[in-house]
Structure 1
Amino acid sequence: MSSTNEPEQYPGTWGAITTKHFHPNTHECYGVIHGRSELVFGLGGADAVEGDSGNYEGVRVTVAVGDVIVVPAGVAHASVQNDRDYKYIGVYPEGSPKWRSEWGKRELNGIDDPLFDEIKGVPFPRCDPVFGADGPLRKVWGEVLTK
């Protein structure tokens, strides 16, 4: 991941971020370099807590050393369980603004909220963060968007 994109990205190394958040201004790519973590996607800061009957609990994925995850702009995410030594490298698409976190604590004004416009305005990634221009990300992402 680093050899493909590091010179043109905003690299950073983090441990577990347990507060649910999302980035409205850029996509994010994680490369796990130590330990394991269970991540939750799609569950915002104002959403009901886990276990409330009938409430959406997000999508949970366990990641470990060597795993790479691409999180589209606007998708809430957090680490819900992790090893003490869990660490990942975060990179962002070339030309992206510095990431900004939103915590999902304010009520949005429906689909007309300016935050939705900001998220929709984030450009489609130009390349796959692992395999470069010929990698599968653009094809897979495009297929999902057309469904």
Structure 2
Amino acid sequence: MSILQSMKKAAEQVTGVARPGRRQAADLVRPRKPNEFRFRDDGLVPNHSSWPLVVYRGAVRLPQDFDPAAVMEELFGANGWGDSWRDGIYDYVHYHSRIHEVLGVARGTAKVQFGGRKGRTLALKAGDVAVLPAGTGHQRISASEDFLVVGAYPASGTYDECTTAADHAKAVVTIPSVGRPRKDPVYGSEGPLLTAWKKD
């Protein structure tokens, strides 16, 4: 997270200025059908063998009264997705083998490749939310200068960053053991994510 965004986040948490309450953040959610994308193991990026990448287009309204990053943070936090950060998306392929991740676009636009070499490039814009099951490769291809993402993680799991072929063998064993989150980061306990990510 950039120093400026860290300071802004800290100031908002202390003062409450430009930061919605959890109920206000929930009121900014729009009902959206999930877009699901499944990717195969490409030899470097394993992806998830059972669960798809889920993308909600325009799921969150971002009114000028609130800092858009704070809206995403409050929404995700209310649904049990924490350890949030504000930044961009790395410009190299990486994935997490021991935890799921949500990415909420707070500002700007970007093209992001999901799934590695055999994946798909998606255009994302402010208000979109992508929920990545463990193992899902992601990489920023291009972005507007003002592009800002809020990332967060469910309570269970441990953050790691995998980037090399050497990570692959361990990751294919670890990924299936990462449990399903209790709530959808946008829609809570009744969210579409829980249907898309079915328990075995």
Instruction: Assess if the C-alpha contact under 8 Å between 2:99 and 2:156 holds in 1.
Output: no
State the shift of 1:2 in Å. Answer: 2.7
Secondary structure at the aligned position of 1:116 is classed as helix
Q: Of residues 50, 70, 76 in structure 1, which corresponds to 2:137?
A: 76
Matches within 5 A, 1:1-147: 1-6=72-77, 8=80, 9-43=82-116, 56=118, 58-97=119-158, 99-106=159-166, 108=168, 113-142=169-198
TM-score of the superposed pair, with normalisation by structure 2: 0.58
Larger mean Cα displacement after TM superposition, 12-21 or 24-33: 12-21
Instruction: Assess if the C-alpha contact under 8 Å between 2:97 and 2:175 holds in 1.
Output: yes
For residues 11 and 69 of structure 1, what CA distance do their matches in structure 2 show? 14
For residues 144 and 75 of structure 2, what CA distance do their matches in structure 1 show? 27
AA paired with 1:94? Answer: A
Report Cα offsets for 1:26-50 as digits up to 9, x if no partner.
000001011101110111xxx5xxx
AA paired with 2:160? Answer: R
Count of aligned residue pairs for this structure pair: 127
AA paired with 2:94? Answer: H
For residues 170 and 184 of structure 2, what CA distance do their matches in structure 1 show? 28
- More helix by percentage: 2
Task: Point out which structure has higher relative CO (alpha carbons under 8 A, 6+ apart).
Answer: 1
State the shift of 1:4 in Å. Answer: 3.6
Instruction: Assess if the C-alpha contact under 8 Å between 1:15 and 1:86 holds in 2.
Output: yes
State the shift of 1:107 in Å. Answer: 7.4
Secondary structure at the aligned position of 1:118 is classed as helix
Stretches of structure 1 that go unaligned for 5 or more consecutive residues are 48-55
State the shift of 1:81 in Å. Answer: 1.1
Instruction: Assess if the C-alpha contact under 8 Å between 1:25 and 1:73 holds in 2.
Output: yes
